Amino acid sequence: MKKKKMEQFIGFMFLRVCIGLVILALVVILYDIFSKGSGVINWEFLSAMPRKGMTEGGIFPAIVGTFLVTIITALLSIPLGMGCAIYLNEYARKGKVTRLIRMSIRNLSGVPSIVYGLFGVVVFVQLLQLNTSILSAGLTLGLMTLPWTITASEEALKNVPQSYRDGSLALGATKWQSIRTNVLPYSIPGMLTGAILGLSRAAGETAPILFTGAAFYLPFLPKSFSDQFMALPYHLYIMSTQHHAIEKVRPIAYGTALVLIVLIFCMNFVAIIVRYKLRKVKME
Amino acid sequence: MNTMIKEKKSNQKNVEQEVISAELEENNMKVRVENFNFYYDTTQALKDINLEIKANSVVGIIGPSGCGKSTFLRCFNRMNDTISSIRYEGKIRIDEKNIFDDNLDVVDLRRNVGMVFQKSNPFPKSIFENIAYGLKINGIKDKNFIAQKVEESLKNAALWDEIKDRLHKSAFALSGGQQQRLCIARALAIEPEVLLLDEPASALDPIATAKIEELIHELKKKYTILIVTHNMQQAARVSDYTAFFMLGELIECDETNKIFTNPSKKITEDYVTGRFG
Amino acid sequence: MERHLDEELSKLNTNLLKMAALVEEAIHRSIEALKKRDKDLAQKIIDDDQEIDEMEIQIEEEIIDLLALFQPMAGDLRLITTGMHINAELERIADLTVNIAQRVLEVADQPLVMPLVEIPRLANQAKLMVRRAIDAFVNQKEDIAKNVILSDKDSNKLRTVIMKELINDCMVKDGTTAPRAVPLLLVARDLERICDHASSIAEDVIYMIKAKVVKHHRERL
């Protein structure tokens, strides 16, 4: 008996250490960024253009750029992802082909983001003549998020009980009626949550926008979606590795990192709220 | 039951009358299953089924697990079509029309053949919307008509008095038995002629079960009912005719009192007496 | 809650009542036939018994169906098994009236050995007991059933009186009256048996109402 208890104790201790290490890492990162970045955050930092070779001024164009590129990403990946998921889960015959497609989608999510960037350059920038622009970058990020959105949407669809579908089919509904009125309303929360989480990942990506539209230094806002833009992650990358006065701009880099993290936290928070609200509706 | 015995007796007495009533029966058949076979991939789930069902009667389908009784039931509204790699042979006629005809619309068939599932499956909507659902997807928009139909269906399902004050509350707030009667009401709203019940009381307590059984007894005045049940006693209580299935074959189908007092086949006797195996 | 079974039970009740009415009528007619020495009426009783036999079979089938299809419990079960018993008892009573009718055919052409006073009284008693026993069954009245059981003693006494009279006043005094006296003796015995059956029905009714076995245990009444 004693040995058993000892084993259990050791096991639990091991698990506690694991979780403790993870939390510790998170806290250290957050502390580092908050402590060093919060000093530069003020209204000017958020709303002004960068000045004097980005050694002074704010990061406003980067915030706007990230925002705009995320919109394009969302417009591509959410409808397309949901559509694919609905087709795969509701219409496609279960068989080898469907399994293959699903496997490919899973694999796509493992493709390194720099590869997507390269693909974006070839297809959007050169082939479709979109040049380096918000549109090219947004579409590239959209493609990158697709596997994520499809998988999350499929999970959401799988969570709708089969009995809802059977119930409406047995009442003389067509397949599409059954999906539209009795499956989608209950799976949209899950789909949206997945999509928003995907977007928040996309918003933090650097590699795919590196060649497709992000600019090093633009002291003005983009006028249309076909202009180049500044983006928070890319800005951060420049400030911390490529700038001619790295030590001098370090506080700005930390400030950018903080803004980026807060932005992504906000998006995740929205995802949680959406899921909570809509799930509550479902429960009632 | 009583009248059935009398019928039999008077038939014995009068051959002429027997011929007449046989003709009447002939015309009164709602459902005819003819040389029906059903396959999942290569396995044959139902073997050469022949069965006739009178209008306004209740047919209980009994048999051990995996005998194909649920599969059989799901053929009548072609719910098996949702599974790929299935194959039918033979015919099922409802009002003389073969339901597997190429020019028959499955959606129309399902409107005419209602189904209630083993586990009650109300939609996550209000009670009212649950019943109105079938009407709405079938293109009915008239609000007054829908409201009237909802009330009528709930009354027919013996649920109206219990829930008339909370029509717009969630259907999930109902008890298990009420949910199942809601599902019956939902099926009734689109005015089917045949009603398929797939173990409708298997997840309910005895009181809720008794209510469903009483309801079936009332419903047969208007509908032709097929009920699959694990519970032999339930088949005995509610059905006029009982069909015994085993290993995909229809072993015996006869008047319920005959099946439960003097079945023709020994294997049926072994099953109904619990001597099986 | 209204139950489908209740419908079937009331059908059973109605059928048993119909049968009881036929049986009562048979008792009544058998005594009328004896009093009037009416051979036609006696023959009619014998012929009509077939109807009662048919009815017994029908009710029995009905009861077997009820047991098989409804799996009745507790009060329902007692009611149905009591119905089964009553059904059999009524049929036996009907057979006894046939016996009486056959005795009537034997004595109809000869003068009576003695005036019929006590036998009609016993017949009335029998009729009344049957009626009351059925009444107790239909209306679930325990006290009526009790009275039926208690009044069985009177019928025994009455039969003994009749037998003594027939033996002492007729057969002992004049041996040649025996062929005419013995049928009457048998009639008295049959009537008394009818009373026994009525009493047996009443015992079952008490079992049905109170789930109490008073058969062979009069002290429990």
> Does residue B246 belong to any structural domain of this protein?
yes
Whether chain A has a CB inside 8 Å of the CB on B124: the answer is yes
Q: pLDDT grade, residue C50 (50/70/90)? A: very high
Question: Which parts of chain A have pLDDT scores under 50?
Answer: 283-284
> Does residue B26 belong to any structural domain of this protein?
no
CA distance B223 to chain C (A): 17
Structural domains counted in chain B = 1
Which of A164, A171, A281 to probe the B interface (max B CBs under 10 A)? A171
Residue of B nearest to C59 (CA): B2
Beta bridge partners of residue B46, listed in sequence order: B38
CB distance C149 to C198 below 8 Å: no
CB distance B157 to A202 below 8 Å: no
Nearest CB to C1; choose among B214, B233, B236? B214
**What would the pLDDT profile of A56-91 be if each residue is shown by its tens digit?**
777 888 888 888 889 999 999 999 999 999 999 988
Nearest CB to B170; choose among A166, A170, A284? A284
Lowest mean pLDDT, pick from B242-251, C1-10, C183-192: C1-10
Cβ contact C–B (≥3 pairs, < 8 Å):
yes
Q: How far, CA to CA in Å, does B238 sit from each of A241, B215, C214?
A: 81, 9, 36
Q: Which residues of B touch A182 (CB under 8 A)?
A: 123, 133
Determine, for residues B237 and C70 on separate chains, whether the beta-carbon distance falls below 8 Å: yes
> Does residue B73 belong to any structural domain of this protein?
yes
CB distance A56 to A274 below 8 Å: no
Q: pLDDT grade, residue B12 (50/70/90)? A: very low
The interface residues of chain C toward chain B in range 95-154, judged by CB-CB distance below 8 A, are none
End-to-end CA distance of chain C, in Å? 33
Q: How many CB pairs under 8 A join B and C?
A: 38
Cβ contact A–C (≥3 pairs, < 8 Å):
no
Q: How far, CA to CA in Å, does A7 sit from each of A3, A4, A13, A15, A18?
A: 6, 5, 10, 12, 17
Determine, for residues B121 and A163 on separate chains, whether the beta-carbon distance falls below 8 Å: yes
Given CATH 1.10.10.10, say whether it is the number of domain C4-220.
no
Q: Which domain holds residue B95?
A: 31-124+195-272
d(CA B153, CA B151): 6
CB distance B73 to B196 below 8 Å: yes
Mean pLDDT of C170-193: 87
Predicted local distance difference test score (pLDDT) of residue A252: 83
CA distance A171 to chain B (A): 6
Q: Which residues of B touch C1 (CB under 8 A)?
A: 210-211, 214
CA distance B2 to chain C (A): 7
Determine, for residues C69 and B214 on separate chains, whether the beta-carbon distance falls below 8 Å: no
CB distance B187 to B116 below 8 Å: yes
Q: Is the pLDDT of residue B11 over 50?
A: no
Q: Show the tokens assigned to C2.
A: 């209204």
Whether chain B has a CB inside 8 Å of the CB on C211: the answer is no
Residue C110 identity (one-letter amino acid): Q
Q: pLDDT grade, residue B10 (50/70/90)? A: very low
Domain boundaries, chain A: 43-283
Mean pLDDT of C22-31: 91
Going C4 to C5 to C11 to C14, the CA torsion angle's sign is negative
Q: Which residues of A touch B121 (CB under 8 A)?
A: 161, 163-164, 166-167
The interface residues of chain B toward chain C in range 236-275, judged by CB-CB distance below 8 A, are 236-237, 256-257, 260-261
Residue of C nearest to B5 (CA): C58
Q: pLDDT grade, residue B244 (50/70/90)? A: very high
**What would the pLDDT profile of B89-101 be if each residue is shown by its tens digit?**
999 999 888 998 8
DSSP string, chain B: -HHHHHHHHHHHH-HHHHHHHHHHHHHTEEEEEEEEEEEETTEEEEEEEEEEEETT-EEEEE-STTSSHHHHHHHTTTGGGGSSSEEEEEEEEETTEETT-TT--HHHHHHHEEEE-SS----SSBHHHHHHHHHHHTT---HHHHHHHHHHHHHHTT-HHHHGGGTTSBGGGS-HHHHHHHHHHHHHHT--SEEEEESTTTTS-HHHHHHHHHHHHHHTTT-EEEEE-S-HHHHHHH-SEEEEEETTEEEEEEEHHHHHHS-SSHHHHHHHTT---
Residue of C nearest to B8 (CA): C58
Determine, for residues C69 and B260 on separate chains, whether the beta-carbon distance falls below 8 Å: yes
Going C52 to C58 to C64 to C69, the CA torsion angle's sign is negative
Q: Is the pLDDT of residue B86 over 90?
A: no
Going C82 to C88 to C94 to C95, the CA torsion angle's sign is negative
User: Please, what CATH class does the domain formed by A43-283 belong to?
Assistant: mainly alpha
C-beta neighbour count of A194 within 10 angstroms: 26
Determine, for residues C62 and B1 on separate chains, whether the beta-carbon distance falls below 8 Å: yes
CB distance A200 to B160 below 8 Å: no
Q: Is the pLDDT of residue C195 over 50?
A: yes
Cβ contact B–A (≥3 pairs, < 8 Å):
yes
> Does residue B238 belong to any structural domain of this protein?
yes
CATH of the domain at B252: 3.40.50.300
> Does residue B176 belong to any structural domain of this protein?
no
C-beta neighbour count of B233 within 10 angstroms: 14
Q: Is the pLDDT of residue B18 over 60?
A: no
Determine, for residues B214 and C61 on separate chains, whether the beta-carbon distance falls below 8 Å: no
> Does residue B163 belong to any structural domain of this protein?
no
Domain boundaries, chain C: 4-220
Q: Is the pLDDT of residue B22 over 70?
A: no
CB distance B160 to B127 below 8 Å: no
Nearest CB to C69; choose among B5, B214, B257? B257
Q: Is the pLDDT of residue B243 over 90?
A: yes
Q: Show the tokens assigned to A96.
A: 């080898």
Global pTM value: 0.76
Nearest CB to B77; choose among A93, A170, A284? A170
Residue of B nearest to C1 (CA): B211
Whether chain B has a CB inside 8 Å of the CB on C65: the answer is yes
Chain A: residues touching B (Cβ < 8 Å) = 93-95, 161, 163-174, 177, 181-182, 186, 282-284
**What would the pLDDT profile of C82-99 be if each residue is shown by its tens digit?**
999 999 999 999 999 999
Determine, for residues A181 and B137 on separate chains, whether the beta-carbon distance falls below 8 Å: yes
Nearest CB to A164; choose among B108, B121, B170? B121
Residue B249 identity (one-letter amino acid): E
- ipTM value, please give it: 0.82
Q: How far, CA to CA in Å, does A281 sit from each of A186, A188, B124, B268?
A: 9, 12, 9, 50
Predicted local distance difference test score (pLDDT) of residue A1: 67
> Does residue B257 belong to any structural domain of this protein?
yes
> Does residue B137 belong to any structural domain of this protein?
no
Mean pLDDT of B5-26: 47
Nearest CB to A170; choose among B115, B124, B170? B115
Whether chain A has a CB inside 8 Å of the CB on B114: the answer is yes
